[in-house]
Amino acid sequence: MEFTEDFIKEQGLTPEQVKAISGHASKYIQDREADIKNEYSSLANTNAEKIIQGAIDSAQSKMGITVQRNEGEKFADYLGRATPLFIDSALAKEKESLIKLQNKYYETIENGKFDQELKNELDSAKNKVSELLKKEASFEDTIKSMVPKNDYEAKLNELTQLKEAQAFNSVKPKFADGVNEYESDYKWKKAVAEIKSKYNIEIIDGEAVYKEIDNEFKTGKLKDLIEANKEISELKLGRQVKGVKSHEPNIKLEDVPFLIPENATPEQITKMITDYLKVERGLDKLDDRYSAEFSKINLAIRKQKKA
């Protein structure tokens, strides 16, 4: 600690006295400063400890943690150590509770302690279903016995075809004016055949629907399949299908079961014969009859004999 010259003169202090007083005062100030720092540091530690302990007490109370804190342990360190132990304990209690419920459930089943009213309703429903199945089987047997087997199957097949025809007719679009009649006819039959090869067709609640043959749960509206067919869409808009020019006059030839454009190219003729055999006759290129039928029609066309 230093004194001003004015202070030294006013007090009449010698250099030795000034030195002694300064040294004593400096030591006193340093000691006092250290004491104050220690007091505040101790107080801060005490307050911090209270805050940490308060937070831990709150966590234990709200979360049900019973793990005790180690002396001087920080809050984050405590949670990192206590949480896994708490979770393991909670899971063990939950597992014990589930095992008790499971044992109670099995005991109930073994002893047959069901609600008797529900059991009676279930038995009644089962009996009704059983009776209906018996009646259905009996009715089917009665119908079959009334007509010969072949006639019954033929009538059933005829009914199925009628229902399919009704379904397709209900969604058949109106084609644009000027579209070649033969073109639209065989394109429509082709689309129908392609759909029937993949789907079963039904009418449910007055609407034509399809069910995939390989997955009966995959269903939808028949009109969506028709609208997705590119060739049918083109006919609706009046577009000409490649290879068939609708503005050309059609001619009828001997031994040819369909009309053809007057100036049809070999490529067009091949396509028309192939489509006819596939759609109308149900023949594909692997069929033994395909080559003979194709050659027969193709030869008749090339002779160009008008009927």
pLDDT digits (tens, 9 = 90+) for 186-245: 889 899 999 999 999 999 888 999 999 998 888 999 999 998 998 888 887 764 444 444
Taken in order 11, 12, 14, 16, is the CA torsion positive or negative? negative
What pLDDT does residue 6 have?
Answer: 77
Domain boundaries, the chain: 5-63, 114-146, 161-242, 248-307
For residue range 133-158, list pLDDT tens digits in order: 776 666 566 655 555 556 657 777 78
The encoded tokens of residue 67 equal 């793990």
Residue/partner pairs of 25-28 with CB below 8 Å, 24 or more apart: 25/1, 26/1
Residues 6 or more apart in contact with residue 216 via CB below 8 angstroms: 200
pLDDT at 139: 57
220 or 90: whose pLDDT is higher? Answer: 220
pLDDT at 252 over 90: no
What is the average per-residue pLDDT within 87-103?
Answer: 66
Residues sharing a CB contact under 8 Å with residue 1, sequence separation 6 or more, in sequence order: 22, 25, 26, 29
| 265 within 8 A of 241, measured Cβ to Cβ | no
Residue of 239, 238, 235, 206 whose CA lies nearest to 222: 206
Q: What is this structure's pTM?
A: 0.36
Greatest extent of the chain over all pairs of C-alpha atoms, in Å: 154
Q: What percent of the chain has pLDDT over 70?
A: 60
